Structure 1
Amino acid sequence: MELREYVEALRDELVTASAAGDAETRAVAERLVAPLESAVRLTLLKVLSAAADEITRELAPGSVDLRLRGMDPSFVVTAPSADDGPTKDAADDADEAAGDWSPGALGGARGGATARINFRPPQEMKDEIEKAASRQGISVNTWMVRASAAALSNSRRAQRGKQQFNGWVQ
């Protein structure tokens, strides 16, 4: 992707806007245009990077990366592979997962908005997770949400420093 045309267009707009002023205003605008070029390029790169991140969140497990070669950015799109996840619709999976964890596990926030995390475990761990989810008759996503909720709940208990015992004593 060539940024030069966008930077030049902005420079032309600034010079055109300064034409409405007197000669001194035009001179100041022309002196400012050259140093602004690098700031404009950096800002455009930040915008492109933010856009790539947003697209990646929607495309996960695929991704879009922004790469810079010389002065020119380019996009690298990585499509999700067939074995990156279940064939089930992601929205159905998110709805299913949102209702399956215990209400107290995450501070009582049940059924709220869902978020996406790109999780890349080693292949052996992925296989074990899939087997565990299959044994329970649930999706991998639901299994991961439950496992995460349990880990967070245990972590919270450990942070409080209290030991809790359940049962009967005679």
Structure 2
Amino acid sequence: MELTPYVESLRGSLASAGNAAADEVRDAAERLSYAVEPSLRLTLLEALGDAAAEVTAQLDGVVVDVRLRGGQPELVADEVAVPPAAPAAPQPPQPPAPPEPDEGTSRVSLRLPETLKVKVEEVAAAEGMSVNAWLIRAVTHALEPAPAPRRATTGRRITGWVR
């Protein structure tokens, strides 16, 4: 963003104001317009920084920064990386829901490798469940639809400089 047109506009305004006065005032207004240029540029940068902060506050997941390149300010919008959501606390083991009163049960013969069977027995015992109840819960869990992913939100990031 080029700041020169704004500086020139202020110079023109001061020159116009000075034209209505004596020659000494006109010369003073012209000298003053050159003297205030650094302060005006700094004030414009501060206004751009404030505008970027307001836009950032209104956008979700985007940070707007003011960067100087070659003495010229640029407004840059960056997406904020959303940190992964913290893993949910482990749920206590839930026994399988009891079948409906009129629902019958079926018998399934399941063949497992011996090492897997031993692991299932150990995990079920550690959770205080029978192998049958643990397997019913595992199958029920596997058949449930996956929960919709949740988007984690973070606080606002503020960057910049101070004088």
Aligned to 1:51: 51
* Larger relative contact order (CA 8 Å, sep ≥ 6): 2
Per the TM alignment, residue 22 of structure 1 is displaced from its structure 2 partner at its CA by 1.0
Letter in 2 for 1:28: A
The aligned runs of 1:58-69 (5 Å cut-off) are: 58-69=58-69
Aligned to 2:86: 127
The answer as to 2:33 corresponding to 1:33 is: yes
> Percent same amino acid among aligned pairs?
43
Letter in 1 for 2:6: Y
Distance in 1 separating the partners of 2:152 and 2:86: 14
Distance in 1 separating the partners of 2:47 and 2:41: 10
Aligned to 1:113: none
Normalised by the length of structure 2, the TM-score is 0.51
What SS is found at the alignment partner of 1:127?
coil
Distance in 1 separating the partners of 2:20 and 2:39: 24
Per the TM alignment, residue 51 of structure 1 is displaced from its structure 2 partner at its CA by 0.3
Aligned to 1:71: 71
Structure 1 alignment gaps of length 5 or more = 85-120, 133-138, 145-170
Q: CA deviation digits over 1:116-146, x for unaligned, max 9?
A: xxxxx5x4xx333xx35xxxxxx7779x9xx
Distance in 1 separating the partners of 2:59 and 2:35: 37
What SS is found at the alignment partner of 1:73?
strand
Normalised by the length of structure 1, the TM-score is 0.49
The 4+ residue runs of structure 1 with deviation greater than 2 A are 139-142
Aligned to 2:11: 11
Bigger helix share: 1
Q: Contact conserved, 2:10 with 2:33, CA < 8 A, in 1?
A: no
Q: CA deviation digits over 1:30-73, x for unaligned, max 9?
A: 11111111110000000000000110011132111100112200
Per the TM alignment, residue 80 of structure 1 is displaced from its structure 2 partner at its CA by 5.5
Q: Contact conserved, 2:66 with 2:75, CA < 8 A, in 1?
A: yes
Letter in 1 for 2:41: R
Distance in 1 separating the partners of 2:38 and 2:24: 24
Per the TM alignment, residue 24 of structure 1 is displaced from its structure 2 partner at its CA by 1.2
What SS is found at the alignment partner of 2:61?
coil
